[in-house]
Amino acid sequence: MLFLKNNGMKKTLQVFLLILLFAQLQTACSKQTSGSGVDNYTLQIGQTVDITLNANPSTGYSWAWINKAAVTTVDSVAAISVTTNNVPGSPSQEIWRFKAIKAGSDSVKFRYAQPWVGGAVGETRTLFIKVN
């Protein structure tokens, strides 16, 4: 296990890993964004796409994939949370990686909410994905 004592080194490593993660995305798929906040992706079987969702875990809110059981063309292969600093209350990003597994079209729906019973619901996000 790697332990970094220097905070500057930790930040450099985090930035490097983020750049590496996003560099892979550049060759993964095509994306079209509409004015309504709905994203459209076209993938080939086996390709991946990273979806970045803004978050703030200190509020109790988190993103959830709410229609997973209905989606057959892609599957989530990773989900990570990334923050640029360790100050409480700082915004972060959740990055979800999806892999195309079957030809067809689906919509992937996310909800930003407090996950406990009676918790508040924030925004939603929908991705339309076509797999060739």
Instruction: Decide if pLDDT at 120 tops 60.
Output: yes
Q: Is the pLDDT of residue 3 over 70?
A: no
* 32 Cβ contact partners less than 8 Å away, ≥ 6 residues apart: 39, 40, 41
Contact indicator for 32, 69 with CB cutoff of 8 Å:
no
| pLDDT of the residue at 29 | 52
Calculate what percentage of the chain has a pLDDT beyond 70.
Answer: 72
Average pLDDT over residues 3-27: 51
State the pLDDT at residue 102: 95
- Under 8 Å between Cβ of 98 and 24: no
**Rounded Cα–Cα distance for residues 59 and 113 (Å):** 10
48-101: pLDDT as tens digits: 999 999 998 888 999 999 999 999 999 988 888 888 777 878 889 999 999 999
Mean pLDDT over each residue of the chain, to the nearest integer: 80
Question: Taking 80 as the threshold, does the pLDDT of residue 1 lie above it?
Answer: no
pLDDT of residue 78: 86
Q: Binning pLDDT at 50, 70 and 90, where does residue 17 land? A: low
